[in-house]
A and B are shown apart, each in its own frame.
Chain A
Amino acid sequence: MIQTDILIIGAGPTGLFAVFEAGLLNLRCHLIDSLPQPGGQCAEIYPKKPIYDIPSHPEILAGDLVQNLMRQIEPFSPGFTLGECAVSLEKTSDDQFIVTTDHGTQHQAPIVAIAGGLGTFEPRKPPVENRIPFENKGIDYIIKDPEKYRDKKVLIAGGGDSALDWAIYLVNVASEVTLVHRRKEFRGALDSVNKVQALKDQGRIQLITPAELEDFYGDQHLEGVRLKVEDGTQDLAVDYVIPLFGLTPKLGPLKDWGLEIENNAIRVDNSLDYQTNIPGVYAIGDVNTYPGKLKLILCGFHEATLMCHSAYSRLNPNKKNTLKYTTVSGVKGFDGSVKAAEKATIKRIE
């Protein structure tokens, strides 16, 4: 069981910044996120897009914002459970919470901060009814271990970076790689598009465009796929189909945690500390709602800060909590690092 002071669900900008504010108060954090990397939608959906409304950054790429936050929180050594979705929240008799993921990983903390943004990212699935019997029996939406596809015939569907990148990677693993896309144009890094073009020219990737997945067939395991192509249909024997059509967010299991939900967001008390209707459980950032709510990263940072101070008071009811300025107190990391302003030089002028 992973134990921490504040368990943060969601490792987007708001969740990451909460680690920093908690650290200043000597509270340790652990983050859970369904994506395999921290950063939330900034890292997953638009890492290369510039953001212009982060205070003091006239312009910053979403991916760089995440990297900076990761650097900023490094002294506070946060723990991460990545690629797992928080599915249940239970309260114990001694005022602790246990959060379990879809992989069965258990986390315990006296404070839970839900910074889940728009929810859990789930893969977009092809609109073919017959996909269901073959899911996990030949149809994979996420590549966890590429070795699974060694010497297999693999078909990747999609036109974005992940489809291109995996097609390139699997050329050296699978026995056959086919890339299928609805259009002839791909939206990906130029370098990846050029690589796929070269691999196609060398006959190492079979490219079928424009084409769409129309049906799947097989006995127990997937054996083949029917594609809708320009002039009819085309059947192709494959062992695996990997549709990579991007991810789309859903509020997911936390809807059933007994929280007050309003318009697909968690209702919090913004006049005080962003606590939910369950004492000890907070919701910060895009996942919460209150009168006048604005879904902005800068508002998430503010909410994270107030949440941490409230959490501190909740955990230390007999201690006075005073606000410390980093310009005065510096940053003392859990890793032993100390950041502080240099002492002023006092020298006499004769």
Chain B
Amino acid sequence: MSTEVAISIIDREGEIHQIVAPTDMAMNLMEVCKAYELPVEGTCGGMALCASCQCYIESDHSLEERSEDEEAMLSEALNVQDNSRLGCQIPITDDLEGLVIRLAPEEF
């Protein structure tokens, strides 16, 4: 069984980055973006406390629901849409194969 999934990430300039993310390294979407040197800060390190990894889910994958922490952070962040998620709260699993996300604008 493959231990990788293919994910498309649309950056803030509209460029599409097709990347391959490992499912066996306990990584999350924020960490994968950083590993590929995409412009995601991940300021709080992944504690759902800063929203610098906010992204929009553009494909119709059904992801695990937002946790209370994530919901609370998104209620204070800017540019939040119905399909907003914090990348740091999305673990890389097999279900993410073919996922398409768009990075939310920077807050300033």
Which of A49, A127, A159 meets B72, CB within 8 Å? A159
The 24 listed contacts between A and B (C-beta, < 8 Å) are A45-B47, A45-B49, A45-B50, A46-B44, A46-B47, A46-B49, A49-B47, A118-B43, A122-B108, A124-B107, A159-B72, A159-B75, A181-B75, A182-B75, A187-B72, A245-B76, A245-B77, A245-B78, A246-B76, A248-B50, A248-B51, A249-B43, A263-B37, A264-B41
Q: Which of B32-62 contact A (CB under 8 A)?
A: 37, 41, 43-44, 47, 49-52
0/1 per residue, A151-162, Cβ < 8 Å to B? 000000011100
Known: A41-B44, A118-B43, A249-B43. A185 touches B107 (CB 8 A): no
Q: How far is the CB of A254 from chain B (nearest CB, A)?
A: 16
A147 to B72, CA, bound (A): 30
Would you give the shortest CB distance from B71 to chain A, in whole angstroms?
7
B71 and A185 contacting across the interface, CB-CB below 8 Å: yes
Which positions 287-331 of chain A face chain B at CB distance < 8 Å? none
Chain A residues closer than 8 Å to B3, beta-carbon distance: none
Cβ of A250 under 8 Å from chain B:
yes
Near B by CB (< 8 A), chain A positions 240-279 give: 245-246, 248-250, 263-264
Q: Are B76 and A124 in contact (CB under 8 A)?
A: yes
Chain A residues near B (Cβ < 8 Å): 41, 45-46, 49, 118, 122, 124, 127, 158-160, 181-183, 185, 187, 245-246, 248-250, 263-264
User: A250: which B residues are within 8 A, CB to CB?
Assistant: 108
The residue of chain A having its C-beta at the shortest distance from the C-beta of B69 within the complex is A187
Q: How far is the CA of A183 from the CA of B71 in the complex (A)?
A: 9
Q: How many Å lie between the Cα of A255 and that of B75 in the bound state? A: 31
Complex Cα gap A127–B104 (Å)? 14
Least Cβ–Cβ distance between B33 and chain A, in angstroms: 14
- Chain B residue numbers with a CB within 8 Å of A181 are 75
- Give the interface centre of B44, B47, B72, B75 by most chain A CB atoms within 10 Å: B75
B81 surroundings in chain A (CB, below 8 A): none
Hey, which chain A residues are within 8 Å of B49, CB to CB?
Answer: 45-46
Q: Does B79 contact A (CB under 8 A)?
A: yes
Instruction: Specify which of A118, A181, A264 lies most central, judged by the most chain B CB atoms within 10 Å of its CB.
Output: A118
Interface string of B71-98 (1 = CB under 8 A from A): 1100111110000000000000000000
Q: Assess A248 versus B108: contact at CB under 8 Å? Given A46-B49, A127-B78, A158-B76.
A: yes
Residues of chain A within 8 A (CB-CB) of B52 are 248
